[in-house]
C-alpha cells in the first residue's frame, strides 16, 4: 500500500468507504415491504434533507421519477419550513426525508410540518431518532451509519434503499437484478479506483474542481463536490455539463480539474465539453462504465449504476485530504450533526 493510503488507512472515513460492498449487501437484503414505504400511491413524491442528504434527495427524486413514472421533486428541508407554499401543491404528498443522524433539526421540523400535507417517510441510519419518531414510516439502516463527520456509506446506502424500494414497488425485476450487482462491482473496482484517486489527487496542476452530471447524476456531482470541499476546503462546484457553457466556463483555468460523471452509451455533447475543457488546459477526468479514468465496469444500466459513482470520488477526496496532511475524520469547522440555535419555523 502506498504511503499516501497508509496515512489514512486507520481513519474512520477510509474504513467506511471501503465497507460499502458489505453495507450495500445488507441494505439489499432488507425486507422489501419496509423499503416500499418510499413508493407513493397517488401522492406527489417530495424528497428532502440537508447538506449531503439534500444532494441525496436530488439524485433520489430523478431516479424515483424514472422508475415509478410519478411526479417527484427534491427540496432542501429549509424550504419545506420557510416556504411550504412553494413546496406543496394541492395534491397529497409523500415526503421522504433523508437524515443519517435522524437529528438534523431542519429535517425533523420539515417532517413534522409536512404531515398536514400528506404521508411522511424517514430514511435514516438512526432507528431510534427524532426523525424516525416524527414520520409515519421509517426505513432504518443502522448498519450503514458513518462514525466519521463526512457522509460516505450512509449516503450510498440511503440512496440504494430508496432505489430498491422503487424497484420492488414497480415490480421491476430487471432493475432489482442490476442493483444486486452493485456490491460485487464495487468490491472489484475499489483497488483500481484507489490507484486512480491517488494519481489524480497527486496532480499538482489543479487547485479548483468542477463536477459534471446530467439528471440524477447532477445530485451525485453535488455530493462529490461537497466531499472535496468539506474535507480539503478546496474551491469546488457541480454543474449540469451543458449548463457549464452558459457562463460558469468563464471560471475555467489551466489549474482546474473537471470530473465528468458520464452515463453509458452515446453522450456526444458532454464528451465535446470535456474535449473543450482539456483544450483550455484543464485536467479532464471521467467516471463511466468503460473507457474512463475511473472505470465502473459493465453490465449495469445508467439507472442502477448511480450509487457506484460515489466510492471513486469519495476516494479522490480522501486522497487529496491525505496529501494535504489533513484529518479526514475531523474536517475543519464541521460537526457530525448540525444543530441550530433558536426556534426553527414549522417545528
Ligand atoms: C447531514 C449533514 C451533512 C454534512 C455533515 C453534517 O446530516 O449535515 O450533510 O455534510 O456531514 O451532517 P444528516 O441529517 O444526514 O444527519
Per-residue pLDDT tens digits for 231-265: 999 999 999 999 999 999 999 999 999 999 999 98
Q: Does 303 have pLDDT greater than 50?
A: yes
323 burial (CB, 10 Å; 0-12 / 13-18 / 19+) is middle
Place of cell 430508496: 162
pLDDT of residue 343: 61
Q: How many C-beta neighbours within 10 Å does residue 174 have? A: 11
pTM of this prediction? 0.96
Q: Are 343 and 105 in contact (CB under 8 A)?
A: no
Nearest CA to ligand 1 atom 2: 51
Q: Is the pLDDT of residue 208 over 70?
A: yes
Ligand 1: atom nearest CA of 151 is 11
Which residue's CA is the nearest one to ligand 1's atom 8?
51
pLDDT of 33 higher than 90: no
Ligand 1 within 6 A of CB of 73: no
Q: Residue 52 CA: which ligand 1 atom is closest?
A: 9
Output the pLDDT for position 7.
Answer: 86
Distance from the CA of 311 to the center of ligand 1, in angstroms?
18
Q: Is the pLDDT of residue 210 over 80?
A: yes
Q: Which of 184, 197, 207 is nearest to 328 (CA)?
A: 197
Indicate if ligand 1 lies below 6 Å from the C-beta of 132.
Answer: no
What is the distance in angstroms between the CA of the first residue and the CA of the last residue of the chain?
49
pLDDT tens sequence across 56-94: 999 999 999 999 999 999 999 999 999 999 999 999 999
Ligand 1 center to residue 129 CA distance, Å? 14
Grid cell digits, residue 10? 486507520
Average pLDDT over residues 284-308: 97
CA of 222 to the centre of ligand 1 (A): 14
pLDDT-derived band at 118 (thresholds 50, 70, 90) equals: very high
CB atoms within 10 A of CB 4: 18
pLDDT of 347: 45
329 Cβ contact list (under 8 Å, min separation 6): 11, 12, 13, 147, 148, 149
Q: Count the alpha carbons within 13 Å of 169 in the hemisphere toward its beta carbon.
A: 21
- Is the pLDDT assigned to residue 342 strictly greater than 70? no
- Split at pLDDT 50, 70, 90, the class of 6 is confident
Number of H helices, E strands in the chain: 15, 10
CB of 126 within 6 A of ligand 1: the answer is no
Residue 346 CA to ligand 1 centre (angstroms): 20
Measured N-to-C along each axis, helices 20-28 and 153-169 cross at an angle, to the nearest 10 degrees, of 30
pLDDT beyond 80 at 124: yes
Of all protein residues, the one whose alpha carbon is nearest to atom 13 of ligand 1 is 99
Instruction: Please tell me if the CB atom of residue 53 comes closer than 6 angstroms to any atom of ligand 1.
Output: yes
Question: Is the shortest distance between the CB of 340 and ligand 1 below 6 Å?
Answer: no
Q: Is the CB of 50 under 6 A from ligand 1?
A: yes
- pLDDT (0 to 100) of residue 110: 97
pLDDT tens-digit series, residues 155-190: 999 999 999 999 999 999 999 999 999 999 999 999
Instruction: Evaluate: CB of 99 within 6 angstroms of ligand 1.
Output: yes
Mean pLDDT of the chain: 95
Q: What is the mean pLDDT of residues 187-196?
A: 98
- Residue position matching grid coordinates 415491504: 33
The CA 273 to ligand 1 mean position distance, Å, reads: 32
Give the pLDDT score at 346: 46
pLDDT in the model for residue 339: 73
Q: What is the pLDDT of residue 134?
A: 97
Give the percent of the chain with pLDDT over 90. Answer: 88
The predicted pLDDT at position 67 comes to 96
Q: Are 56 and 77 in contact (CB under 8 A)?
A: no
Residue 229 Cβ inside 6 Å of ligand 1? The answer reads: no
Amino acid at each position: 500500500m502506498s504511503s499516501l493510503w497508509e496515512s489514512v488507512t486507520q481513519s474512520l472515513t477510509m474504513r467506511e468507504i471501503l465497507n460499502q460492498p458489505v453495507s450495500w449487501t445488507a441494505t439489499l437484503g432488507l425486507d422489501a415491504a419496509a423499503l416500499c414505504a418510499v413508493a407513493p400511491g397517488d401522492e406527489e413524491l417530495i424528497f428532502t434533507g440537508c447538506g449531503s442528504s439534500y444532494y441525496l434527495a436530488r439524485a433520489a427524486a430523478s431516479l424515483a421519477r424514472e422508475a415509478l413514472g410519478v411526479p417527484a421533486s427534491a427540496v432542501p428541508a429549509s424550504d419545506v419550513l420557510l416556504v411550504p407554499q412553494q413546496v406543496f401543491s394541492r395534491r397529497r404528498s409523500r415526503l421522504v426525508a433523508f437524515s443519517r443522524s435522524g437529528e438534523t433539526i431542519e429535517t425533523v421540523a420539515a417532517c413534522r410540518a409536512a404531515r398536514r400535507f400528506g404521508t411522511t417517510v424517514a430514511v435514516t441510519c438512526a432507528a431510534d431518532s427524532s426523525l424516525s419518531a416524527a414520520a409515519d414510516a421509517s426505513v432504518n439502516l443502522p448498519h450503514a451509519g458513518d462514525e466519521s463527520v463526512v457522509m460516505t456509506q450512509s449516503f450510498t446506502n440511503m440512496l440504494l434503499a430508496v432505489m430498491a424500494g422503487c424497484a420492488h414497488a414497480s415490480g421491476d425485476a430487471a432493475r432489482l437484478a442490476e442493483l444486486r450487482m452493485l456490491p460485487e462491482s464495487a468490491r472489484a473496482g475499489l483497488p483500481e479506483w484507489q490507484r486512480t484517486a491517488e494519481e489524480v489527487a497527486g496532480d499538482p496542476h489543479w487547485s479548483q474542481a468542477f463536477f459534471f452530471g446530467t439528471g440524477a447524476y447532477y445530485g451525485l456531482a453535488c455530493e462529490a463536490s461537497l466531499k472535496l470541499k468539506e474535507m480539503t476546503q478546496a474551491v469546488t462546484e457541480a454543474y449540469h455539463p451543458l449548463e457549464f457553457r452558459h457562463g460558469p466556463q468563464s471560471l475555467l483555468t489551466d489549474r482546474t480539474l473537471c470530473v465528468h460523471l458520464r452515463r453509458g452509451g452515446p453522450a456526444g455533447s458532454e464528451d465535446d465539453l470535456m474535449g473543450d475543457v482539456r483544450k483550455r488546459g484543464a485536467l479532464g477526468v471521467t467516471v463511466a462504465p468503460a473507457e474512463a479514468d475511473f472505470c465502473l465496469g459493465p453490465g449495469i444500466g445508467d439507472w442502477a449504476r448511480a450509487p457506484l459513482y460515489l466510492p471513486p470520488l469519495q476516494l479522490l477526496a480522501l486522497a487529496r485530504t491525505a496529501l494535504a496532511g489533513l484529518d479526514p475524520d475531523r474536517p475543519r469547522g464541521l460537526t457530525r450533526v448540525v444543530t441550530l440555535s433558536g426556534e426553527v419555523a414549522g417545528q
